[in-house]
Amino acid sequence: MAWSPSWVKRVGIDRLTAWFGRHVAAERSRWQLWLPVAFATGVGIYFGLPDEPPLWLGASALLIAFAVTLMLRARPGLLMAGLYGAFALAGFTNAQWHTEWAAAPVVADSHRAVTLEGEIFDLNRHEGAYRMVLRDVASPDWQETAPPVRVRVRLSEKAAAGLKVGDRIEIRAVLRPPPGPVAPGAYDFARRAYFERLGGVGFAVGRPHVLIPVEDRKGQSWLAGFWQENALWWSALRHRISERNLVALPGQPGAVAAALMTGERGAISETVIENMRAAGLAHLLAISGLHMGLVGGLIFFLLRFVLAAIPPVNLRFPIKKWAAVAGLLGSGFYLLLVGATIPSQRAFIMVGLVFVGVLADRRALSMRLVAWAAFLILVIAPESLLSASFQLSFAAVICLVAAYESWSLRRITWQRDAGPVHKVGLYLVGVFLTSVIAVAATAPLGAFHFNRVALYGLLANLVAVPMTAFWVMPWALLAFLLMPLGLEHLALRPMGWGLEVILYVAAQVAAWPHAQVLVASMPFATLMLLVFGGLWLCLWQRPWRFLGIGIIVTGLLLMPFERPPHIWIDGEARLIGFRDGAGTFWRSDGRRAAFEAEIWQRHAGLTDKMTWPRSGDALNGRLRCDLLGCLYKTNGRIVAFVFDSLALAEDCAVADLVISMEPVFGRQCDRPAVVIDRFDLWRNGAHAVWLDDHAITVENVVQASGRRPWVRLPGATK
């Protein structure tokens, strides 16, 4: 059949276009909500590129897009399309320029200790030790290279004794560049460190020596070093509050209290963290919109309640706006106290816009507020788009606001006609539905980022969230007020009772059978369809919004098509892991590179793990090892794991794939189609291998990450 306009009409394409146009026109008031989505799309495109684009590219394209948009201003439909394109290019350009601004020196990869001199910018507990961030760093060992802006050093509790934020110290430490992903496509700490301007991580050798105590720096000009001194003051205050929490409330309740009040989670044990994850309560340990909203909301309602009880003030002054100002200032204090991290910045912007809405006599919570809060955050920190905290929190908030908009009129009618018992019932139903929506909105994203789903998270949240909102955080606010008087223990002890309930619930739920299920990594296309389908469902208001459910289902149907690698190799040639056909993860060493092994196992969605024998057989003879290496038979292929070069000649003669922890020179290993040796690992980082019937596919970290400023190539200096 020839292609013709009449044929197009017969198949209904133009009818579908007309139907789509009618719905879009009817939702004119919601068009602007998609502009921040377009901006985020541009940011995502920038970070998804395999190579760093030239700096002029984004700005030039943006100018052209705005010029074209102005030419289309007489045609509303084309004007909006042009605006979306311009916003996408604005996001791309903003991310580009932010990357350029964040560039900072990175230490060279070395295994020798260097002498560091720097100012303690942050100091907090972490897994039985301390993590210390130094800034204004100098070293006699870096005479020919620029020193990093910041470095992070791990030191023992004994070595950290007596140190205070703001001290200028000298210390010996072994530093290395921030490590990249432990597998292609895994979490990239090097990228995060790049935007934090963190140029090195490592561990201390010996005890530090204090050169200038923070007390001796008080006489310096406050105005000249305002930002520097201000940041140090907040960091020191955060550390003091955390320590006083732990003194007044010993044990894990005190550690969790410190996390809620200052954002420092280093004193929380790994057991508690794992229980909270398994119970779906890990979000309570991260400063988010819940905590910021509770702090600001408590200040707002308490002050308004007190002022309303004073008739002369209540009748003559706008006490609601006074309370909004107090809530805004209190939220700002809390933001600075917890370190103004990206999640807390996002939460403050959301809460701050709510209070600004009260001051302007506008509706406090709306989808428009959420959309432009996301836009503002991406302007300030475009890299936050890639973080799990950004995605999870906005997914929950967007879905909750969409549900609130749909049910607002019915809710008002129900509350107006309800009696006291009915109102309590409506509140409980509201808490239940809020938890259901939040869990449903965040579960797919949690599975994508953390490869785990908490099956009983809804039940745990029904207890823990109200306990946090109505008991724990009010006592935390009172503890803040009592600290200048040294009476914080009067509030921290009752706060600890509530935290003990939460920790008990977490431990009990985590102990239930199959409390959390590991799931293999999902395809990136699934994530994109889930996000787009969710936005389609929430941002539109007419019945056509339910097409988003079909988009979400389509994304979920793609999940079985993602296959995890069969073999992983650590970039430092310390560990090899593989998955067998029975669902068990096997690793070459049970102690080395434990973090990498855990990530590989989690990405494959495997619960069982084994360490293969140094010598002998396993897997019914399919894995045979001696002191020089192993031969593994799988999928009709033979894979050789070589730990000593003496085994190269024999293994190369029989294997289809050779993975050597030693360098392979010249023609030492001609037969196999694929050889991965120590040089490959040094050049390209961790490797992943897929063994198919017709091909062996290899992917490495550098290949997956591309040539970007945060990807450190061997021999490169920054």
pLDDT tens profile 280-329: 888 888 777 677 878 888 888 888 888 888 888 777 888 888 888 998 89
Give the pLDDT confidence of 222-240 residue by residue, as tens digits.
433 444 556 677 777 888 8
Comparing CA positions, the residue from 428, 443, 459, 543 lying closest to residue 26 is 543
For residue 415, the model assigns a pLDDT of 60
- According to the model, what pLDDT value does residue 227 have? 47
Reduced to 3 states (helix: H, G, I; strand: E, B; else coil), residue 172 is: strand
Q: What is the mean pLDDT of residues 437-452?
A: 86
Q: How far apart are CA 105 and CA 717, in angstroms?
A: 8
Q: Is 616 helix (H, G, I), strand (E, B) or coil?
A: strand
pLDDT tens digits, one per residue of 120-175: 888 887 777 889 999 889 888 887 788 899 999 999 888 888 888 888 999 999 99
CA angle at 708 for the pair 705 and 711, rounded to the nearest 5°: 65
Q: Which of 7-16, 68-77, 106-115, 341-350 has the lowest mean pLDDT?
A: 7-16
Per-residue pLDDT, 221: 41
Q: What is the CATH number of domain 113-219?
A: 2.40.50
Determine phi and psi for 487, rounding to 5 degrees. -110, 20
609 near 584, Cβ under 8 Å?
A: yes
Among 372, 326, 330, 327, residue whose Cα is nearest residue 349: 372
Using 50, 70 and 90 to split pLDDT, how confident is the model at 111? confident
| CB-based contact 572:583 (threshold 8 Å) | no
* Cα(607)–Cα(78) distance, integer angstroms: 52
For the chain, what percent of residues have pLDDT higher than 70? 90
As a whole number, the mean pLDDT across the chain is 85
- Phi and psi at 249, nearest 5°, equal -135, 80
3-state secondary structure of 550: helix
Report the distance separating Cα 532 and Cα 610, nearest Å.
39
User: What is the mean predicted confidence (pLDDT) over 391-395?
Assistant: 87
Query: Considering only CA atoms, which of 23, 26, 4, 2 is closest in space to residue 13?
Result: 4
pLDDT exceeds 50 at position 57: yes
pLDDT at residue number 640? 93
The per-residue pLDDT for 455 is 86
3-state secondary structure of 118: strand
pLDDT tens-digit series, residues 455-507: 888 888 888 888 888 899 889 989 998 988 888 889 999 999 999 999 999 99
Contact 658, 669 (CB under 8 A): yes
Looking at the predicted structure, is the pLDDT value of residue 404 above 90? Answer: no
CA atoms within 13 A on the CB side of 435: 18
The pairing of beta strand 168-176 with beta strand 129-138: unpaired
